[in-house]
C-alpha cells in the first residue's frame, strides 16, 4: 500500500507545482506582448485635453514635491 501524504505535504507539493508552472518562460510572453501595447494604445484613445490634464497633474506632483523640499532646506 503506498504511503499517503499528510495534508501539509500535499499542500506543499501543490504549491511547488504551481510555482514551477508560473516560472516557465512561455507563461509570461503573452502578457508582455499585451503590456507593451498598453500605454501607447491608451494614449492613442485619449483626447488631447485629457492627456494635457494628466501631464499637468504629473508635473504638479513632481515639481510641487521638489519645491516643498527646497523650501524646507532654505528655512533651516
- Residue 62 lies inside a defined structural domain of this protein: yes
Per-residue tens of pLDDT for the chain, all 76 residues:
556 668 888 888 888 888 877 666 565 566 666 677 778 788 888 899 999 998 988 888 888 866 666 676 777 6
**Does residue 75 sit within a domain?**
yes
Overall domain count for the chain: 1
User: 56 lies in which domain range?
Assistant: 47-76
- Asked if residue 31 belongs to a domain, the reply is no
Q: Is the pTM of this model over 0.95?
A: no
Q: Give the side-chain half-sphere CA count within 13 A for 16.
A: 6
CA distance 67 to 60: 10
Is 9 a member of any domain? no
Amino acid at each position: 500500500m503506498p504511503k499517503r501524504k499528510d495534508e501539509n505535504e500535499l499542500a506543499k507539493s501543490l504549491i511547488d507545482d504551481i510555482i514551477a508552472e508560473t516560472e516557465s518562460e512561455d507563461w509570461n510572453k503573452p502578457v508582455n506582448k499585451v503590456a507593451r501595447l498598453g500605454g501607447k494604445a491608451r494614449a492613442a484613445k485619449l483626447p488631447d485635453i485629457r492627456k494635457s490634464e494628466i501631464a499637468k497633474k504629473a508635473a504638479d506632483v513632481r515639481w510641487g514635491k521638489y519645491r516643498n523640499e527646497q523650501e524646507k532646506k532654505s528655512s533651516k
